Amino acid sequence: MQKKQIIVILAAAIGVGVVFSLPKVLVDNKKESVTGSEEKVAQKDSISEISKLMAEKHTHKPSSEDQKNILTLTNNYYSVSDKEKKRIFADSISAYYKRFHQYDSVAKYSEEIANLYPKEGNLIAAGDAYMQASDLVDLEQKKSYSDKSRELYKKALELNPDNLETKSKLAMTYVTTSTPMEGIKLLREVIEKDPDNQTALFNLGYLSMQSSQYSKAVDRFKKLIEINPKHSSGTFYLGLSYLQLGNKDKAKEYFVKAKTLDQDPEFQSIVDSYLKETN
Model pLDDT for residues 221-245, shown as the tens digit of each residue: 999 999 999 999 999 999 999 999 9
Mean pLDDT of 58-74: 83
Distances (CA, A) of 165 to 14, 52, 53, 197, 228: 9, 29, 30, 8, 16
Q: Where are the domains of the chain?
A: 5-59+101-278
Q: Which fold has domain 5-59+101-278?
A: 1.25.40
pLDDT over 50 (residue 67)? yes
Report pTM: 0.76
Distances (CA, A) of 152 to 13, 104, 122, 197, 222: 17, 15, 9, 21, 31
pLDDT at 14: 32
